[in-house]
Amino acid sequence: MPAFAAFLTLLLLYQWPVQPPSVARPFQPPPQPWLSGHRGVDLGAPPGAVVRSAGSGVVVYARRLAGRGVVSVAHAGGLRTTYEPVTATVAAGDTVAAGDPIGALETGHPGCPVTACLHWGLRRGDVYLDPLLLLGPRRVRLLPLTPVGVQ
């Protein structure tokens, strides 16, 4: 039961970085680390929307990288969340709590199917994880073993 309690505690520590949450593109890790994939989720939001830290931590990066504003926050347990494209309102070394504003959403994220998307990433060390795991279990839908109408 201690592992379950730790999991529940983790769930209470993290929240959506933009409101209202709308997943425009899901996490799609590559089959091998060196291949292309989508190492985060894209959350649709209006341009200029307030971007908030998903959890408490320390800002380790808040600058432009390859023409995009990027903010990265280190959290307990070796986790790191990233947010882009963002006009940062924080600086490296700042301590943030879950829900604290860290910037404003910019437009122009490649692959975004709507006007503006926040690319939200999660890593533990060099391993990319689905950031939606920070928010708790998703609804599971069971599908039939055979297509409907086939006997």
- Is 95 inside a domain boundary? yes
> Where residue 120 sits, what CATH number does that domain have?
2.70.70.10
pLDDT on residue 8: 46
Statement: the pTM of the whole predicted model exceeds 0.85: no
Instruction: State pLDDT tens for residues 101-140.
Output: 999 999 988 888 888 999 999 999 989 999 999 987 655 5
| Planar angle of CA 113, 135, 69, nearest 5 degrees | 50
- Cβ distance 84 to 70 under 8 Å? yes
| Planar angle of CA 9, 11, 15, nearest 5 degrees | 130
pLDDT on residue 32: 82
pLDDT on residue 12: 57
Instruction: State pLDDT tens for residues 13-62.
Output: 899 999 988 999 999 888 888 888 889 999 999 999 999 999 999 999 99
- Is 25 inside a domain boundary? no
Average of pLDDT values for 82-106? 97
User: Whose CA is closest to 114, among 41, 37, 24, 50?
Assistant: 24
pLDDT on residue 143: 54
- Is 106 inside a domain boundary? yes
- Is 83 inside a domain boundary? yes
Report the mean per-residue pLDDT for the chain.
86
Q: Which residue has the higher pLDDT, 3 or 65?
A: 65
- Is 113 inside a domain boundary? yes
Average of pLDDT values for 59-81? 96
pLDDT on residue 128: 92
- Is 82 inside a domain boundary? yes
- Is 77 inside a domain boundary? yes
Domain containing residue 70: 38-131
- Cβ distance 38 to 27 under 8 Å? yes
Split into its structural domains, the chain has a count of 1
